[in-house]
A and B are shown apart, each in its own frame.
Chain A
Amino acid sequence: MSFKPKRVSGADLAAQLSGATANLPAAVPVLSIVSDTAKQRPPPVIQINFKASEAFADLIAREAEKVGSTRRLFARLMRNAGYDVPEADVNPLDNRRRRG
């Protein structure tokens, strides 16, 4: 009959074996850290439609053209009015296709 050695923890054993296991690959896939500069996917969006008078529609079209898009126009107006508007709506990714 012999005494069994006390079981060591995983971290202790890994440290103890590190000399013999230095060249071995991990069985667990290592997740790569995505840099801040990497292109981020925009959040999911929904479509908004509403009816308006022709004069008001013209006004929206003119002002939206100045700031870049209708979505950005409304987002800026809402933020200036004090509402908590997501950054993705105030400065949406420019993913429009343009010619030339």
Chain B
Amino acid sequence: MGNILTVASGKGGVSKTSTVMILSVNLASQGYRVAVIDADRNQSFASWHAQAYEGPEFTCRSEIDHIKVVDLAGELSDSHDIVLVDTAGFESLTAASAIGMADFVMIPCMPDRGSVREAMRTAQQVASLSKAARRTIPYSILLTRWKPRGLSERAALDSLREEKLTILDSSLGDLSGLYQAILQRHRTRGREGGRTSVHPDSGASREGGYTG
């Protein structure tokens, strides 16, 4: 039975989908059987997977119903090593279900006050759902678009530490290279009418990628 990892935050634009892209491709490259559930109504991940991605194969399914998403994740975890769930950037029943069923929750957080506040709220929600589910749901904050020596990064980190939130040692740096690559490939595909390849690993790591 594989693990279910949910990437969640009540705030949009904190690199939830990008985190799932990077994780899924890297894990699939290492030979893990990976499945991704796009539980965001916008279907950003599913659209990227269908139209622009051409790396190592992995399963991608879309499900935004809060009951069906649990059943689907359970079903996929039987045949995959890891199931990643990309959630919408607002508090919803589907995101709550995805947190409630998860073996681990990752909460992306950018170095700004709004992101930090939402990361704290999401962490509280995980704790509240842990109580309701009567089991511990482990979670960690993932620092995204993070410059280790930045001033706002330092202030954000202090706020997160004050709340005694668990923070992952690794962080994601500037992802602008990845976004540019995705946008360019979508445009190219639109012009050529064919499939093209976008590998999140290359975009993220080349442009400053992983730090910490």
Residues of A near any B CB (own CB < 8 A): 4-5, 7-11, 13-14, 16-21, 24-28
- The answer on a CB contact under 8 Å between A7 and B101 is yes
Q: Say yes or no: B65 contacts A28, CB within 8 Å.
A: yes
Query: How far, in whole Å, are A11 and B71 apart by their CA atoms in the complex?
Result: 9
In the complex, what distance in Å separates the CA atom of A9 from the CA atom of B125?
21
CB atoms of B68 and A10 under 8 A apart:
yes
Docked complex Cα distance between A9 and B64 (Å): 16
Residues of chain B from 118 to 164 with CB closer than 8 A to chain A in the complex: 125, 128-129, 131-135
Across the two chains, which residue of chain B brings its CB closest to A21? B96
- Which of A5, A17, A25 is close to B129, meaning CB atoms less than 8 Å apart? A17
- Chain B count of residues within 8 A CB distance of the other chain: 33
Q: How many A-B residue pairs have CB under 8 A?
A: 80
Residues in chain B within 8 A of chain A (CB atoms):
1, 39, 41, 64-71, 74, 77, 88, 90-97, 100-101, 103, 125, 128-129, 131-135
- A19 to B68 CA separation, bound complex (whole angstroms): 19
Taking a contact as CB atoms under 8 Å apart, the answer to whether A10 and B97 are in contact is yes
Contact of B96 among A4, A7, A8, A20 (CB under 8 A): A20
Q: How far is the CB of B138 from chain A (nearest CB, A)?
A: 12
Q: A7-B74, A8-B70, A20-B128 are in contact. Are A13 and B93 (CB under 8 A)?
A: no
Dominant secondary structure at the B interface: helix
Q: A24 touching B93 by the CB < 8 A rule? A: yes
For the complex of A and B, 9 pairs with smallest distance between CB atoms: A10-B70, A10-B67, A27-B94, A20-B132, A7-B74, A27-B92, A10-B71, A21-B96, A27-B64
Separation of A17 and B130 alpha carbons in the complex (Å): 9
Across the interface, which residues of A come within 8 angstroms of B133, CB to CB? 13, 16-17
A8 to B67, CA, bound (A): 11
A67 CB to nearest B CB, Å = 51
- Give min CB distance, A86 to chain B, whole Å: 37
CB-based contact A16/B92 at 8 Å:
no
Residues of chain A within 8 A of B71, CB atoms compared: 9-10
A97 to chain B, nearest CB (A): 42
Would you call A20 and B129 a contact (CB within 8 A)? yes
CB distance from B145 to the nearest CB of A (A): 25
Q: Say whether, besides A7-B101, A10-B71, A28 and B132 are in contact (CB < 8 Å).
A: no
| Neighbouring A residues of B39 by C-beta, 8 Å | 27
